[in-house]
């Protein structure tokens, strides 16, 4: 039980008077958010950020992130299940953004807010708060009887793949799981959906990327 008295108590306390970043990123020139992510766009708008819209579809090589190993917090917090994941920066990925995609230029006062929200490594990013959970969902699959035959053909044609598979079998959990073994081959097949874990937000880093925009006048 805590009791409060009047006698003075002298304590030595550490003083933390500066912030040291554990993760730093280079700010892009702008972020591009596809228009279907309406909840994300609404939050950006509510933060008072200047938003623009693409006048026409944009095909360009932009930077982005590949997100893997998502781990969700079991108990909800603030009505959401926060998620942690690994983020790998990928350079110059050919992407197509439809007309109406939201462009967030970073030559504005609130650029730091935009980075904290839109860079997936941020502890309070949209990714961390579960706004982009859908990108981790695997929609397509292959039947085991199809994968089994395909896997044998792949091994016969590729000695390097054979060696890689045998090395993977050293893991008891992998070796004992038919699903993991077949998934090994599915991920290396032409049928694997490489959009799984691909962060849908593009990072414009080159001034040569021509982005034709109009003001964002939406209120939805």
CA gap 108, 34 in Å, rounded: 20
Q: What pLDDT is recorded for position 46?
A: 96
pTM, two decimals, is 0.81
| pLDDT for residue 219 | 58
Instruction: Give me the residues paired with residue 96 across strands.
Output: 59
205 three-state secondary structure? coil
Distances (CA, A) of 106 to 115, 169, 209: 8, 47, 15
The per-residue pLDDT for 218 is 72
Q: Identify the pLDDT of residue 143.
A: 85
DSSP-derived letter for residue 136 is: G
How far is Cα 38 from Cα 110, in angstroms, rounded to an integer?
20
- Opening angle at CA 195, ends 193 and 198, nearest 5: 150
**3-class DSSP assignment, residue 155:** helix
Are 77 and 140 spatial neighbours (Cβ–Cβ below 8 Å)? no
Mean pLDDT by 10 residues, the chain (220 residues): 88 92 93 97 96 96 96 95 96 95 96 97 96 90 85 91 93 92 87 84 94 82
Residue 188 CA to residue 142 CA, distance in Å, equals 13
Whether the Cβ atoms of residue 97 and residue 27 lie closer than 8 Å to each other: no
Residues 6+ apart with CB under 8 A from 48: 110
* Beta strand segments in the chain, E: 30-33, 52-54, 58-72, 83-97, 102-105, 202-204, 213-215
Token pair for residue 179?
């699903």
Backbone angles phi, psi at 148, to 5 degrees: -60, -50
pLDDT at 189: 85
Which are the contacts of 110, defined by CB distance < 8 A and separation ≥ 6? 47, 48, 49, 50
Predicted pLDDT of residue 217: 83
So what's the pLDDT on residue 3?
86
């Amino acid at each position: 039980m805590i009791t409060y008295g009047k006698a003075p108590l002298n304590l030595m306390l550490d003083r933390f008077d500066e912030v040291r970043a554990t993760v730093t990123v280079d700010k892009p020139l702008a972020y591009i958010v596809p228009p279907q992510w309406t909840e994300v766009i609404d939050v950006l708008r509510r933060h008072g950020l200047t938003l623009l819209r693409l006048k026409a579809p944009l095909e360009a090589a932009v930077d982005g992130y590949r997100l893997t190993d998502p781990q969700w917090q079991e108990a909800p917090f603030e009505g959401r299940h926060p998620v942690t994941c690994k983020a790998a920066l990928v350079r110059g990925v050919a992407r197509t953004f439809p007309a109406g995609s939201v462009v967030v230029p970073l030559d504005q006062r609130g650029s730091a807010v935009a980075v904290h929200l839109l860079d997936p490594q941020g502890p309070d990013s949209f990714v961390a708060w579960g706004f982009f959970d859908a990108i981790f969902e695997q929609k397509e699959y292959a039947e085991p009887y199809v994968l089994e035959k395909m896997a044998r053909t792949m091994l016969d044609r590729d000695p390097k793949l054979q060696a890689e598979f045998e090395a993977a079998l050293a893991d008891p959990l992998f070796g004992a799981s038919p699903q993991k073994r077949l998934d090994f081959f599915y991920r290396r097949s032409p049928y694997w959906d490489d959009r799984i874990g691909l962060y849908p937000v593009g990072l414009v880093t080159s001034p040569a990327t021509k982005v034709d925009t109009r003001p964002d006048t939406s209120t939805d």
